[in-house]
Amino acid sequence: MMLHYYEKEDQVLLAVDCIIFGFDGKKLKLLLVKRNFEPEKDKWSLIGGFLKKNENLDEAAARVLKALTGLKEVYLEQLHTYSNVNRDSGQRTVSVAYYALIDIASHQFEGILLDTAKWFDVKLIPDLIFDHNQMVDGAIRRLRRRAQTKPIGFELLPNKFTMKQLQLLYESILDKKLDKRNFTNKINTLDVLEKLNEKDMTESKKGSFLFKFDQIKYSNKVKEGFSFKI
Comparing C-alpha atoms, which of 144, 46, 140, 145 is closest to residue 96? 46
In this prediction, residue 149 carries a pLDDT of: 95
How buried is residue 64: exposed, middle or buried, by Cβ count under 10 Å (0-12/13-18/19+)?
buried
In this prediction, residue 67 carries a pLDDT of: 85
- Per residue in 91-118, pLDDT (tens digit) is 999 999 999 999 888 776 655 655 678 8
In this prediction, residue 3 carries a pLDDT of: 66
Q: Which amino acid is at 181?
A: R
In this prediction, residue 168 carries a pLDDT of: 97
Q: Is the pLDDT of residue 7 over 90?
A: no
Q: Count other Cβ atoms within 10 Å, centred on residue 104.
A: 18
Instruction: pLDDT band for 125, please (50, 70, 90 cuts).
Output: very high
CA distances from 188 to 56, 185, 194, 202, 213 (A): 40, 5, 10, 24, 12
Please state, rounded to an integer, the average pLDDT across all residues of the chain.
Answer: 92
CA distances from 192 to 7, 179, 186, 214 (A): 54, 20, 11, 5
Instruction: Tell me the domains of the chain and their CATH numbers.
Output: 13-149 (3.90.79.10), 159-223 (1.10.10.10)
In this prediction, residue 205 carries a pLDDT of: 78
In this prediction, residue 106 carries a pLDDT of: 76
Instruction: pLDDT band for 5, please (50, 70, 90 cuts).
Output: confident
Question: Most confidently modeled of 65-79, 119-133, 190-204?
Answer: 119-133
Torsion of CA 184, 187, 192, 197, to 10 degrees: -10
- Per residue in 10-30, pLDDT (tens digit) is 989 999 999 999 999 999 999
In this prediction, residue 109 carries a pLDDT of: 62
In this prediction, residue 69 carries a pLDDT of: 82
